């Protein structure tokens, strides 16, 4: 959560930082601020609200925006409500130092108390203002330069951070540090960029250094980047990576919202996921991360999947696929529960951690716990070079491209694609499915992008369904087997962007409680594809109908039975059962999207949410 940006070089820093903040707004958008140094003065502007509010404020107040060095922040509040004062950047008491921070300083209260005893005053409720004053205190008392002061201060704090600190007495440098939150340094010609991810500096440089946890760097104009370990002060040689991202990938490309663009990108994204891995002609799946660790994975007693949110739903789909095809027992855990419940993990366990961002704090902590108990940890991530990708023993990227809409869409379907490839590969190696079943799966998987495209053609029809149910106060989503996780995901999509209360349930679980909710006001979205317990789901639909619930069936093309019972049906192409989630998810994503647009909600930046949850 929170996005940080910095620039030091010869260009005007303001437009670079402002545009960078807009690109990082997916990380948090309840307040924003920028500090600029113009060679004489350190100027600061911040406000509650979005980056556009900050821009308007700066324009309206005719604030000066010149300066070749500066830092900026877009916030997702942790300590202190979103207001102007709590917004970042924060000055130190002397007004000489300024900081931006993504993360949480857990022991800020005790440090604050000590600093108050020493005469420091605080205007905000944030942990960040405490950190910058701690740095100032160390700098003064120990008579050290900014870099050393940051290092000494960080050795006193407990928590997570990506920070950038500027000292107006040392205007040729910015000091950055990272623990638990991401931080990239863009390396240009006589200029440097600092950001939570590489998107703010893509048009300026394709060279980036990703700091590792417990590293800090002094980014100095003429001397370059010097990286040190925060704990023991040892020097680290900077590893400069060549970025593969393009600017076009991070703009809306004619769509009204990133979410809609990303929904429509799914056919290509799924293709990109299996490209180079799936070879239907030769009947092969190649995945380096699996191939290189095959014995370890095949000999696993069980697979434990850890993830959060939508990624956890992808993990639930994986449970069905792995158990069904590869006959390996699977448990799927919320990372936040797993990390704190003293789980039994052995060296014979394989853990699969799923994360779009690769930065989710709970998933990262769960990985570390599993590793400490000797488990082999395999990552399924989208963001290349992310913390989770680096923390895991091996992994497979989803190659979905940047997902910027806060509601996850293409990440989900590409995660399922990767997990399906893994399950098929293991099933083949173990001999738990026949050659012909394996081959049939490969053929069907290759057809999925085309079928997703077909499912997307239902968009106009889905809009009319959305119009009918947009004013509902509650909704139910039902599915069985492989489509139970899709029901959960459909409900989550609706909740998070339209703020309509929605619940996902296994269809047969209805009669154990939720059926009491059904009346003529309750829309029930039922996934009733031909493959997968079809007759049983039809019976569940009958039960809802006889209690006057409104039924919207997600059905296989040409279905007649559900059509007769349902108020609306939305068709998806036919496929094998294990692949149906890749198709049934599509109309549910579009439905949520259209309902949210009709309700005039901020689809790409829903309230209270942020794209990557880097705090507990
Ligand atoms: C929902 C959504 C979240 C994320 C969750 C995990 O649309 O985006 O539920 O799925 O925060 O994030 P990652 O996958 O980045 O670990």
Tell which one of 314, 334, 354, 356 to mutate to probe ligand 1, the residue whose CB is within 8 A of the most ligand atoms: 356
Centre of ligand 1 from the C-alpha of residue 311, in Å: 6
Centre of ligand 1 from the C-alpha of residue 494, in Å: 14
Centre of ligand 1 from the C-alpha of residue 309, in Å: 5
Q: Which atom of ligand 1 is nearest to the CA of 309?
A: 9
106-127 confidence digits (pLDDT tens): 999 999 999 999 999 999 999 9
Give the CATH fold of the 457-604 domain.
Rossmann fold (3.40.50)
Tell which one of 309, 352, 400 to mutate to probe ligand 1, the residue whose CB is within 8 A of the most ligand atoms: 309
Q: Residues near ligand 1 with C-beta < 6 Å?
A: 308-311, 355-357, 360, 363, 407-408, 492, 496, 612-613
For the chain, what are the domain ranges?
A: 3-249, 252-455, 457-604
1 pLDDT exceeds 80? no
What confidence score (pLDDT) does residue 64 get? 82
Tell which one of 311, 332, 389, 490 to mutate to probe ligand 1, the residue whose CB is within 8 A of the most ligand atoms: 311
Q: Which atom of ligand 1 is nearest to the CA of 612?
A: 15
Using a pLDDT cut of 90, give the percent of the chain over it. Answer: 88
What confidence score (pLDDT) does residue 587 get? 98
What confidence score (pLDDT) does residue 245 get? 80
What confidence score (pLDDT) does residue 77 get? 83
Structure tokens at 203: 């048009």
> Is there a contact between 451 and 573 (Cβ–Cβ < 8 Å)?
yes
504-524 confidence digits (pLDDT tens): 999 999 889 888 999 999 999
| 253 or 524, which is more confident | 524
Cα separation values, 49 from 30, 80, 84, 124, Å: 5, 14, 9, 17
Centre of ligand 1 from the C-alpha of residue 581, in Å: 18
| CA-proximal residue: ligand 1, atom 8 (nearest) | 408
What confidence score (pLDDT) does residue 240 get? 95
568-615 confidence digits (pLDDT tens): 999 999 999 999 999 999 999 999 999 999 999 999 989 888 777 877
Centre of ligand 1 from the C-alpha of residue 177, in Å: 25
Centre of ligand 1 from the C-alpha of residue 529, in Å: 26
**How many other C-beta atoms are found inside a 10 Å radius of the C-beta of residue 240?**
13
What confidence score (pLDDT) does residue 514 get? 87
What confidence score (pLDDT) does residue 318 get? 98
326-380 confidence digits (pLDDT tens): 999 999 999 999 999 999 999 999 999 999 999 999 999 999 999 999 999 999 9
Q: Which atom of ligand 1 is nearest to the CA of 611?
A: 8
> Is there a contact between 95 and 42 (Cβ–Cβ < 8 Å)?
yes
What confidence score (pLDDT) does residue 537 get? 93
Q: Which atom of ligand 1 is nearest to the CA of 307?
A: 16
Q: What is the mean pLDDT of residues 261-272?
A: 96
Where does the pLDDT of residue 274 fall: very low under 50, low under 70, confident under 90, or very high at 90 and above? very high
277 pLDDT exceeds 90? yes
Structure tokens at 236: 């680290």
The CATH H-level superfamily of 3-249 is Aminohydrolase, N-terminal nucleophile (Ntn) domain (3.60.20.10)
Tell which one of 181, 197, 308, 411 to mutate to probe ligand 1, the residue whose CB is within 8 A of the most ligand atoms: 308
| CA-proximal residue: ligand 1, atom 4 (nearest) | 309
Strands 523-528 and 568-572: unpaired
533 pLDDT exceeds 90? no
Q: Which atom of ligand 1 is nearest to the CA of 412?
A: 10
Centre of ligand 1 from the C-alpha of residue 408, in Å: 6
Enter the pTM of the model: 0.85
| CA-proximal residue: ligand 1, atom 3 (nearest) | 309
| CA-proximal residue: ligand 1, atom 16 (nearest) | 355
Cα–Cα distance between 370 and 389 in angstroms, integer?
15
Using a pLDDT cut of 70, give the percent of the chain over it. Answer: 100
Q: What is the mean pLDDT of residues 467-476?
A: 97
Q: What angle do CA 260, 262, 263 make, to 5 degrees?
A: 65
User: Which residues, in sequence order, are CB contacts of 431 under 8 Å at separation 6+?
Assistant: none
420-465 confidence digits (pLDDT tens): 999 999 999 999 999 999 999 999 999 999 999 999 999 999 999 9
What confidence score (pLDDT) does residue 192 get? 98
What confidence score (pLDDT) does residue 300 get? 95
Q: Any long-range contacts for 514-521 (C-beta under 8 Å, 24+ apart)?
A: 514/476, 515/543, 515/544, 515/547, 517/474, 517/476, 518/476, 518/544, 518/547, 518/548, 518/549, 519/547, 519/548, 519/549, 520/548, 520/549, 520/550, 521/472, 521/473, 521/474
What confidence score (pLDDT) does residue 290 get? 96
Task: Residue count of the chain, please give it.
Answer: 616
> Is there a contact between 178 and 212 (Cβ–Cβ < 8 Å)?
yes
Q: Which atom of ligand 1 is nearest to the CA of 408?
A: 7
| CA-proximal residue: ligand 1, atom 11 (nearest) | 309
Strands 349-355 and 302-307: parallel
Centre of ligand 1 from the C-alpha of residue 609, in Å: 10
Q: What angle do CA 179, 116, 153 make, to 5 degrees?
A: 25
Tell which one of 362, 408, 411 to mutate to probe ligand 1, the residue whose CB is within 8 A of the most ligand atoms: 408
Question: 3-249 and 457-604: same fold?
Answer: no
Where does the pLDDT of residue 250 fall: very low under 50, low under 70, confident under 90, or very high at 90 and above? confident
Catalytic residue annotation: 2, 611
Q: What mean pLDDT, rounded, does the chain reach?
A: 95
Q: Which atom of ligand 1 is nearest to the CA of 313?
A: 10
Which one is the CATH code of 252-455: 3.40.50.970, 3.40.50.1390, 3.40.50.10490, 3.40.50.620? 3.40.50.10490
Cα separation values, 77 from 53, 85, 106, 182, 357, Å: 17, 12, 14, 17, 19
Is the preceding peptide bond at 89 cis, omega within 30 degrees of 0? yes
Centre of ligand 1 from the C-alpha of residue 409, in Å: 10
Q: Which helix (H) or strand (E) holds 467?
A: helix 459-469
254 pLDDT exceeds 80? yes
């Amino acid at each position: 959560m929170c996005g940080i940006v910095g620039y030091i070089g010869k260009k005007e820093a303001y437009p670079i930082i402002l545009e960078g903040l807009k690109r990082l707004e997916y990380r948090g958008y309840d307040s924003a601020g920028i500090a600029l140094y113009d060679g004489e003065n350190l100027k600061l502007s911040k406000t509650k609200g979005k980056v556009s509010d900050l821009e308007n404020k700066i324009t309206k107040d005719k604030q000066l925006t010149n300066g070749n060095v500066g830092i900026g922040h877009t916030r997702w509040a942790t300590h202190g409500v979103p207001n102007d004062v709590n917004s970042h950047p924060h000055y130190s008491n002397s007004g000489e130092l300024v900081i931006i921070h993504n993360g949480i300083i857990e022991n800020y209260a005790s440090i604050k108390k000590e600093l108050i005893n020493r005469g420091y005053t605080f205007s905000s409720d944030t942990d960040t203002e405490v950190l910058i004053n701690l740095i100032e205190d160390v700098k003064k008392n120990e008579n050290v330069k900014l870099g050393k002061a940051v290092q000494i201060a960080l050795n006193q704090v407990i928590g997570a951070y990506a920070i950038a600190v500027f000292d107006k007495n040392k205007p040729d440098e910015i000091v950055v540090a990272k623990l638990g939150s991401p931080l990239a340094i863009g390396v240009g010609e006589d200029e440097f960029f600092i950001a939570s991810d590489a998107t703010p500096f893509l048009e300026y440089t394709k060279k980036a250094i990703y700091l590792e946890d417990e590293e800090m760097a002094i980014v100095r104009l003429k001397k370059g980047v010097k990286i040190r370990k925060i704990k023991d002060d040892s020097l680290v040689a900077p590893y400069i990576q060549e970025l593969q991202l393009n600017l076009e990938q991070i703009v809306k490309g004619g769509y009204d919202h990133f979410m809609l663009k990303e929904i429509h990108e799914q056919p290509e994204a799924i293709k990109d996921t299996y490209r180079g891995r799936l070879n239907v002609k030769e009947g092969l799946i190649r995945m380096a991360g699996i191939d290189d660790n095959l014995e370890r994975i095949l000999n696993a007693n069980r697979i434990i999947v850890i993830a959060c949110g939508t990624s956890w739903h992808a993990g639930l789909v994986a449970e069905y696929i792995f158990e069904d095809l590869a006959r390996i027992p699977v448990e799927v855990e919320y990372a936040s529960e797993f990390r704190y419940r003293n789980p039994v993990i052995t060296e014979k366990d394989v853990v699969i951690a799923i994360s779009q961002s690769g930065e989710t704090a709970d998933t990262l902590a769960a990985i570390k716990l599993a590793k400490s108990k000797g488990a082999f940890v395999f990552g399924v991530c989208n963001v290349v070079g992310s913390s989770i990708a680096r923390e895991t023993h091996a992994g497979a990227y989803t190659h979905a491209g940047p997902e910027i809409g806060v509601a996850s869409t293409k990440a989900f379907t590409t995660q399922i694609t990767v997990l399906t490839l893994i399950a098929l590969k293991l099933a083949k190696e173990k001999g738990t499915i026949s050659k012909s079943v394996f081959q049939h799966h490969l053929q069907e998987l290759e057809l999925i992008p085309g079928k997703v495209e077909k499912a997307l053609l239902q968009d106009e029809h889905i809009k009319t369904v959305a119009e009918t149910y947009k004013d509902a106060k509650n909704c139910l989503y039902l599915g069985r087997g492989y489509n139970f996780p899709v029901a959960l995901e459909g409900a989550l999509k609706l909740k998070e962007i339209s703020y309509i209360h929605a619940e996902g349930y296994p269809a047969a679980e209805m009669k154990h409680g939720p059926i009491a909710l059904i009346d003529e006001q309750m829309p029930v979205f039922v996934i009733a594809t031909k493959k997968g317990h079809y007759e049983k789901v039809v019976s569940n639909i009958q039960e809802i109908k006889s209690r006057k619930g409104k039924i919207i069936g997600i059905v296989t093309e040409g279905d007649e039975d559900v059509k007769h019972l349902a108020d609306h049906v939305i068709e998806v192409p036919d496929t094998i059962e294990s692949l149906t989630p890749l198709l049934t998810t599509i109309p549910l994503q579009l439905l949520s999207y259209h309902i949210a647009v009709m309700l005039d909600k901020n689809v790409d930046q829903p309230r209270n949410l942020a794209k990557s949850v880097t705090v507990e």
